[in-house]
Structure 1
C-alpha cells in the first residue's frame, strides 16, 4: 500500500513537472510581466504598460489564490526533476507579480506627474491626463488638484529663477512670465477639464468642481499682487508709468478668462505714487530749511530776476513757465525746483484719487516753509538794515504772489478741475 501511494505521488509529480515543462514558455511570460512593465514605464511606453497592468488585474481576480500571483514564494514544484534550463529561467521574483506591477504603476504615476512639472504643451498634457484617468488612481476632483499643483510647481520654478537684485527687472520679468505661462496653464486646464458636468463626491453631496480652478486662479493673482507690492515698495525709479502699463495689459489679458484684476492695481500704484511724492516734498522742505539757515539777504543783479530790460523766455503753448522773479531768492527757487521734480515724477502716474492727498501734503509743506521764513525773520530782524527789510518784504511777496499761485496752477494741470468735477458728479465751476 505504501508503495502504491508513493508511486501515485511520484506519478502525479511527474505529470505536474511534465505539464510545467510543456507550459514553460507561458509561465515564463507571466513571471516576466513585472520586468516587462518596468521596461515599458522607464522607456515611456505608457500605453503598453497600462495594458499589462489591466491584464495583471484580471489575472489577480481570476487566480488570486495562487501564491506567485499575490506574494512571492517558492515554486511548489520539485525542481530537481525539471530541465536545467527550466530551473534557471523559472526562478520567481522576490515579490508577487501583482505587488511588483503595483510598484511599476507607482513609478509610472510619478513619471506622469513629473511631466506636468515641466514646460509641457497642450497635446502632451492631454495624453498625460488620459493616462492618469486610465490608471484610476485619483477621483476627478483629485486629478484637477494634482494637475494644478504640478503646473503651479513649474510656474514657481520659473519665477524663482528670475534675478531679484533689481526690483524693476524682477517685476517686469515676473509680469511677462505670469502673463504667458499662467494663461497657458489656464488654457490647458479648460481644454482638459469640463466644469459643465456636475460631479458627486463620496458623501453624495454636490461638489462644485469649478471652485477648485477659480480658487487657484485667485491664489495666483493674489501672489502676483503681493510680489508687485513688494517690488514697488523697494523702488522702481521713475518707471512707474511703464510698469503700470504692463500690469494693466496683464490684467486685461486675464479678462478673457474671467479674472480681470485691473481694479486691484489702482490702490497699489496710488499708494506708491503718494509715498514717493510725500518723500520728495519732505526732502524739498528740509533742503529749504538748510538753505535758509545760511541765507543772507543781498541785492541780486537784475538779470537773475528778469527785471526791466531783460527779456523773459516765452512759454510754449500748454506749458507753465516758472516765475522768473524767484531767481532773485535762491531758497525759493531751489524749493520750487524740487517740487517741480516731484510733480514731474507724479505726472507719470497720477490717479485722480490722489488729488486730496497731494493737496494736503503740499499744504503741509508750505506751512513748514512759512514757519521757516517766520523763524528766519525773528532771528534776523534786529540786524536788518533798511535795504534788507525791503528785500525780505520782496522775498515774502515772491512767496505769496508768485510761488503759491504757480503751485496752484501746477495742481490744476495734474488734476484738472473738470475731471474732479466729473468724478464727484459736480459742475466744473463748483470745484
Structure 2
C-alpha cells in the first residue's frame, strides 16, 4: 500500500536522487582534486535536487495578488532555532540583486555549503516538526523519515571545499531542472572511471615520489650545511683546546707557587697565634680581677638603689597625704565662700528691708504731721517701727560681726 501512495513514491524518488547527487558530488570532487566553483555541473545539480526536496509538500500561501510557494520561509526559521545561523541569514538579506524569496533561498543553500553547516542547520529544522507543520503538509519529505536520511547524507559534504560567488549569479530566474543523464552509467563509463582512478593513483604516486625526492634533497643540503658548520666548530674547538691546555699549565704553575706561599703564611699564622694566645691569657686574668671589683661595686650600687627607692616611696606617700589635705582645704574654702555669699545675700536683704522701713517711717511721719486725729495711733506705730528698726540694726551688727569673724578665720 505504501508503494501505491503517490506522495510516498515521490519521497522515495527524491531520496534516491539526493543519494545519487550527494554521492556523485563527493566522488567527483575527490577525483577533481581542487576547490569547487559555481560552474561545476555536479554541484549545480546538487542544488537543484535539494531545491526539489525542500519544495516537496510545501503549503501554498495565498496573498492579495498571487499564490506564494517558496522554501525561504522554513529556511528563515533556522535563525530562531540555531543561533549561529543568524549570520548567514543577515548575509543573504544584505546581498544586492536578490528580489525573490526563491533567490534568497538558493543563496542560503550555497552559503551553508561553503560554511559546511548545511547538515547542522537542516537537522535542527526537521526536529521541530510542530513549527515545520506551518510550512509543510503532513506527507512532505521534510516531515517524514526521508528528510532525516537526507540530512544524514549531507554530513558527507563537509569534506568538500566550495568557493561560490553568490553576488554575481542570477539566482532569481534560474530554472531548476534535474539532469538525469549525469546519473546514467554504462560499461564504457565504468571502464573510463577505472582508468581514471588508476591514472589518478599513478599521478598521486608520482607526486608522492617527487615530494619525497624534494624532501630528501632539502635534507641532504641541510646535512651538508650542518657538516660544514660542524667542521668549522671542530676547528674552533681544537684551537680552544690548545689555549685551554696552555692555561692549565699556567694555572698549575700558579697553583704550585700559591701552595708554597700558603705554607709560609701558615707558619707565620701559627707563630702569631701562639703570641696572641699568651696575650689573651694575660688579658683574661686582668679581666677576672677587674670583674671581681666590678661585682662589688655593682652590689653596693644595688643596695644604694634599694635605699633610695624606699626613700622615694616614703616621699611619694607623704606627698599623696599632703595632696589629699590640700583637696580637703580647697573644699572647705569653697564651702566657706559659699556660706559668706549666702550671708552677704541675707545682709543685702536686711538692708533693703531697713530702707523700706525708713521709707515707711518717713511716710508715717509725714502722715502724722498732716493728721492730728491719728497722732497717738501714729506714735504707737512709730514706736513699734523704731523698735523693729533697732532689732534689725542689732541683727545687722551681729551679722557684720559674724562675717568679720569668718573672714578673720579664713
Judge same fold: TM > 0.5, yes or no. Answer: no
Length-normalised TM-score, structure 2: 0.19
User: Whose RCO is larger (CA < 8 A, sep 6+)?
Assistant: 2
Q: Which has the higher helix share?
A: 2
Indicate the structure (1 or 2) with the bigger Cα radius of gyration.
Answer: 2
Length-normalised TM-score, structure 1: 0.18
